[in-house]
Amino acid sequence: MRIESVDFFYLSMPLVTTEADGSQDALLVRVRAGGFEGFGECEAAPLPSIAAFVCPLSHGACQPVSASVLGQRLDGPADIERIAALVAYQSMDLLQAAHTWSGVEMALWDLLGQARAQPVWQMLGYRHSHPKTPYFSVLFGDTPAQTLERARQARASGFRAAKFGWGPIGQASAALDREHFMAAREGLQSDGVLLVDVGQIFARDVERAAERLPALQQAGALWLEEPFQASAYDSYRALSERSGSVRLAGGEGAHNLDMAVHLIDYGAVGYVQIDCGRIGGIGPAKAVADHAQARGVTYVNHTFTSHLALSASLQPYAGLAEHVICEYPGSPKPLALAITGSHLLRDAHGQIAAPDAPGLGMRVDVAALAPYVVDTEIRVKGQLLYRTPSLM
Amino acid sequence: MRIESVDFFYLSMPLVTTEADGSQDALLVRVRAGGFEGFGECEAAPLPSIAAFVCPLSHGACQPVSASVLGQRLDGPADIERIAALVAYQSMDLLQAAHTWSGVEMALWDLLGQARAQPVWQMLGYRHSHPKTPYFSVLFGDTPAQTLERARQARASGFRAAKFGWGPIGQASAALDREHFMAAREGLQSDGVLLVDVGQIFARDVERAAERLPALQQAGALWLEEPFQASAYDSYRALSERSGSVRLAGGEGAHNLDMAVHLIDYGAVGYVQIDCGRIGGIGPAKAVADHAQARGVTYVNHTFTSHLALSASLQPYAGLAEHVICEYPGSPKPLALAITGSHLLRDAHGQIAAPDAPGLGMRVDVAALAPYVVDTEIRVKGQLLYRTPSLM
């Protein structure tokens, strides 16, 4: 079959704020080919990502993503890999292309799964979809008391593991940060799994990050996530040599396979976290999982948005039984939950797994998303390059 | 003073093709503050780059570039660095932001130079703007005979050094590539400086690249540029260990300081080539020049477009007397030449230098660009987010 159409739907909550919650808007991708339909999601700024698909040609190495996708053959996983290489080459100088392509790639796997009646993880070569233990993912509170409250809420919701992110950490003193870490530990109780995400707050400053290590160790944090900018490998390595029981985690910023591999090989992280909506989709994420396994590093998904993205993010390591932790959006905005009609709910053991249903195994009803659609229109030289497609 | 406005002008030749010539379109940036005006240029896809400036907020770490720029104080170089850090942090998840910001940053230096009546290189701490020896930059011909002709043309135009890029190299056999290399050498004569650019054609395949080494050595090429994808550091290092008299060059794809530093530290290139229109502007490019110097690597600009971009690209290493090679657009499209009223012409010794005039030292007359303006309009939720600004 051939790829007939790629439609982008820019979705948003009515009000979007500067809080770190990435589920406030979304860019849903629908691909059609051979009578089948697949869905994906870019974890990216919607407008620039749409522009990267529809923009006019700049030159041979700065072509719109559409030039490498529309009309292409799609008969198997090798075609997805071939198209990915074409995008990388023809859109080499179009920076946003990787984010745009990520959602398209995901949708191609979903569509191929429908056509073959196979789940994506099976097409990736896995025999089983092993259950994962989700951690509750929330932001730190503005105060330690709020953080305590959120940790208690995680536990009360049946999560033994919880990740606290961003908020005030690193903005004021290490002493105040300690209070947040200890509040999180208290709320999670002594047997809870505590994960801490500081959202690149220390840029590349190893000393400022190291100041927080004693408190993180005292609070028994399993990992410290993204202390530095995504490609500050030397800083990662330097801190990892001093971090003792706390392992470093990172990788969500990777927008290609190399960046993730380098964070492992040069940055010495203990956990590599991949967002399929940024790294170029499921294919490169699977390659990261292979590399992580070979290096004794644990693969973890990065997912803060919909259950469509959650299913996609589980596929690359669905077959790795020992890589058991997974991120689970703890309190996403209603939009993120509305994207799929079905959801990945925890089983009796509190675990989730990549579905056995074909493709990504999630049901998307575009028409139901009408309340969230952001009408968008792009005109160049008087020509309409993009208008929000019909939801029907 | 405070940054009052940032205007983007999408410019294009009437016809744009898939040839590798990056001067077929342009994104010019005009910044106004305190009664002064500065210009910069993004070496980037215009539409997605504009979108990255004007797009709605997605969340705290995915803000439009405008959120970090408009209204900011601009009293000295430290302000540019501060705003750069703000963009990096607040637009962390907006991939295209680095390309958008690059042109804005350049314009801020230009404007600051007008306000202080100082050339940019002086504000960077250099005492002199040392002359550079430009090389003629062209594409390989479709046939060795065409390549020979272009090499003769370079020499006839008074260039002793010439770089041949892209075209058929790596697409067919190593034997055919050898014919192109030898044709270039013949046309440049025995004392000419031959540089070869293969535009990432080997992706990460060290063996296929290595097959071309004997011919490159025989043709006496000084460097082999971009054999691999921008961040395939291991491939760069592996090839550099086998490349003998031919040194590797790369770096034009760097969209932040880290990428360039890693290409030097991990990739072991001998020449690092920086495009100020992609790496985040002049500030990070200067930091690369410092790092290159410390590591015994030669800094070279990457410039294939206007003389505004050319002036900007010379500033970061204007004061480094030993780093003498510079890229010079050999046959840019008329649009690229029209962007500035003045041009960096070669002196009696065939050399050019970053101008002594304030800022970037180039004259831009926006009104003269009317024939090239691409009318663009972006609407979101019925609201006009962008329309090509008035040229007056």
**Same domain, yes or no: B155 and B181:** yes
Within chain A, which residues score under 50 in pLDDT? none
Q: Are residues B180 and B329 in the same domain?
A: yes
Residues of B in contact with A94 (CB under 8 A): 44-45, 48
Q: Are A128 and A319 in contact (CB under 8 A)?
A: yes
**What single letter denotes the amino acid at residue B374?**
V
List the structure tokens of A338.
Answer: 């509305």
The burial of B341, by beta-carbon neighbours within 10 Å (0-12 exposed, 13-18 middle, 19 or more buried), is given as exposed
**Encoded amino acid at B233, one letter:** Y
Interchain contact A24–B (C-beta under 8 A): yes
Query: Using CA of residue A311, residue A312, residue A318, residue A320, what is the dihedral sign?
Result: negative
Ranges under pLDDT 50 in chain B:
none
Q: What is the pLDDT of residue B268?
A: 97
* DSSP result, B24-51: SEEEEEEEEETTEEEEEEE-S-HHHHHH
**What is the model's pLDDT at position B20?**
85
Torsion (CA) B181, B187, B188, B190 in degrees, nearest 10: 90
B95, B375, B376 member nearest A99 (Cβ) = B95
Residues B183 and B196 in one domain: yes
Rounded distance, CA A366 to CA B301, Å? 48
Phi, psi of B219 (to 5 degrees): -80, -5
Q: Are residues A235 and A130 in the same domain?
A: yes
Q: Give, in order, the Cα–Cα distances in Å from A285 to each of A6, A95, A300, B112, B244.
A: 22, 19, 10, 44, 36
B352 part of a folded domain: no
Q: Given B47, B57, B58, which is nearest A56 (Cβ)? A: B47
Q: Which residues pair with A162 in a beta bridge?
A: A136, A194
Please state whether beta strands A133-139 and A36-42 pair in parallel, antiparallel, or not at all (unpaired): unpaired
State the nearest Cα–Cα gap between B21 and chain A, in angstroms. Answer: 6
Instruction: Tell me the two tokens of residue B67.
Output: 């959120």
Residue A357 lies in a domain: no
Using a CB–CB cutoff of 8 Å, tell me whether A85 touches chain B. yes
Q: Total structural domains in chain B?
A: 2
Q: Are residues B167 and B280 in the same domain?
A: yes
Contact A58 B43 (CB under 8 A): no
Q: Tell me whether A231 touches chain B (CB under 8 Å).
A: yes
In a shared domain, residues A221 and A143: yes
Residues from chain A contacting residue B47 (CB–CB below 8 Å): 51, 54-56, 378, 380, 385
Q: Do B62 and A52 touch (CB under 8 A)?
A: no
Shared domain check, A207 and A104? no
Contact A102, A284 (CB under 8 A): no
Tell whether A289 is covered by a domain.
yes
pLDDT value, residue A358: 98
Residue B85 within any structural domain of the chain: yes
Helices A282-295 and A77-90, packing angle to 10 deg: 100
| Strand-pair partners of B6 | B31
Question: Quick one: B84 and B233 in the same domain?
Answer: no
Closest CA to A26 of B309, B59, B171: B59
Any B CB within 8 A of A382 CB: yes
Write out pLDDT tens, residues A322-341. 999 999 987 899 999 999 99
Residue B48 covered by a domain: yes
CA distance B356 to B360: 9
The shortest C-alpha distance from B375 to chain A (Å) reads 5
Q: What is the CATH number of the domain that holds B72?
A: 3.30.390.10
The answer to whether residue A262 neighbours chain B at the CB level (below 8 Å) is: yes
Q: Within this chain, do residues A112 and A127 fall inside the same structural domain, yes or no?
A: no
Give the model's pLDDT for residue B369.
96
Q: Which run of H or E residues covers position B73?
A: none
Is residue A297 in some structural domain? yes
> Any chain A CB within 8 A of the CB of B62?
yes
Burial of B137-155, coded b for 16+ CB within 10 Å and e otherwise, reads bbbbbeebebbbebbbbbb
- Which pLDDT score is estimated for B137? 83
Helical (H) or strand (E) element with B238: helix B233-240
Q: What is the pLDDT of residue A329?
A: 85
Q: Is residue B346 in some structural domain?
A: no
Is A306 part of any domain? yes
Query: Is residue B308 classed as helix, strand or coil in its secondary structure?
Result: helix
Residues 165-224 of B with CB under 8 A from A: 166, 199-200, 203
**Residue B391: per-residue pLDDT:** 82
Based on the domain organization, do A224 and A370 belong to the same domain? no
CATH of the domain at B157: 3.20.20.120
Tally of CB atoms within 10 A around B20 = 20
A52 and A19 fall within a common domain: yes
- The answer to whether residue A233 neighbours chain B at the CB level (below 8 Å) is yes
Which strands make up the sheet holding A221-225, listed edge to edge?
A: A298-301, A271-274, A247-250, A221-225, A193-197, A161-165, A133-139, A325-329
Domain with B214, as residue range(s), is 123-338
Domain identity same for B226 and B100: no
Reduce the secondary structure of chain A to three states and give it as a string: CEEEEEEEEEEECCCCCCCCCCCCEEEEEEEEECCEEEEEEECCCHHHHHHHHHCCCCECCECCCHHHHCCCECCCHHHHHHHHHHHHHHCCCCCCHHHHHHHHHHHHHHHHHHHHCCEHHHHCCCCCCCCEEEEEEEECCCCHHHHHHHHHHHHHCCCCEEEEECCCCCCCCHHHHHHHHHHHHHHHCCCCEEEEECCCCCCCCHHHHHCCHHHHHHCCEEEEECCCCCCCHHHHHHHHCCCCCCEEEECCCCCCHHHHHHHHHCCCCCEEEECCCCCCCHHHHHHHHHHHHHHCCEEEECCCCCHHHHHHHHHHHCCCCCCCEEEEECCCCHHHHHCCCCCCCCCCCCCECCCCCCECCCCCCHHHHHHHECCEEEEECCEEEEECCCCC
How many angstroms separate the Cα of B35 from the Cα of each of B4, B83, B108, B111?
A: 9, 20, 13, 10
